[in-house]
A and B are shown apart, each in its own frame.
Chain A
Amino acid sequence: ILNVEQSPQSLHVQEGDSTNFTCSFPSSNFYALHWYRWETAKSPEALFVMTLNGDEKKKGRISATLNTKEGYSYLYIKGSQPEDSATYLCAFITGLRVKLVFGAGTILRVKS
């Protein structure tokens, strides 16, 4: 059974704070790791698709790193803004199956 763990479960920060979340996944048969942002009442939106060990990706104030050997990925948000408030999901795919296995998500709330 594939298990994807995300921590923390929720996070409340002040506007301007930088923050980071963790996604842990099985280190064997790695194919890809996805990060999604899910705002309330909207569709989950893909942030990053990460495929190579040591990958670092950046989109504006958000960046992510990937370590496939130890089975974790970090998502960083620099200078959090209220519009960053959302649930951040990671999803893991093995080379054996097509299916995405999601973590339970990290809920971020940014107070202005």
Chain B
Amino acid sequence: SAVISQKPSRDICQRGTSLTIQCQVDSQVTMMFWYRQQPGQSLTLIATANQGSEATYESGFVIDKFPISRPNLTFSTLTVSNMSPEDSSIYLCSVRDRGSYNEQFFGPGTRLTVL
């Protein structure tokens, strides 16, 4: 298993600003994942972050809106840029256990409210 921490745990932001969310894992992992859960919706994959290469974004998500950094094998950041109220969500990072049918370990999430 992996222990994952995220900062901040929650934030309230103004429209048009940006927020960077940090994710730290207690072990080295190749792939890290960023998810979003909007109110009443499913947990949705935003992008997969690989160390040393560009993140791979899912349909409907773009790098300009959600830039991701992956400077080493234990850390990643997700920035939510030029925020609007529609970006109010819980953002989670996760890593995958390759040995167990892709079971994922999640951070505690960042609860973002955009006014």
The interface of chain A, by Cβ under 8 A from chain B, is 4, 31-32, 34, 36, 41-46, 49, 51, 89, 91, 93, 98-105
Contacts and interface: CB of A to CB of B under 8 A. Distances in A.
A90 to B, nearest CB: 10
Contact of B102 (A42, A43, A93, A102): A93
Interface in B82-115: 92, 96, 100-109
A43 B107 contact: yes
A103 B42 CA distance: 5
Q: Interface on chain B toward A: helix, strand, loop, or mixed SS?
A: loop
Contact of B45 (A42, A51, A100): A100
B42 A4 contact: yes
A8 to B, nearest CB: 13
Contact of B40 (A4, A36, A49, A104): A104
Interface of B: 4, 9, 40-45, 58, 92, 96, 100-109
Contacts, number: 54
Given A99-B45, A102-B43, A103-B42, A41 B103 contact: no
Contacts of B41: 104
A36 to B, nearest CB: 8
A34 to B, nearest CB: 6
Contacts of B9: 41
A7 B100 CA distance: 26
A106 to B, nearest CB: 12
Given A46-B103, A98-B102, A41 B42 contact: no
Contacts of A93: 101-102
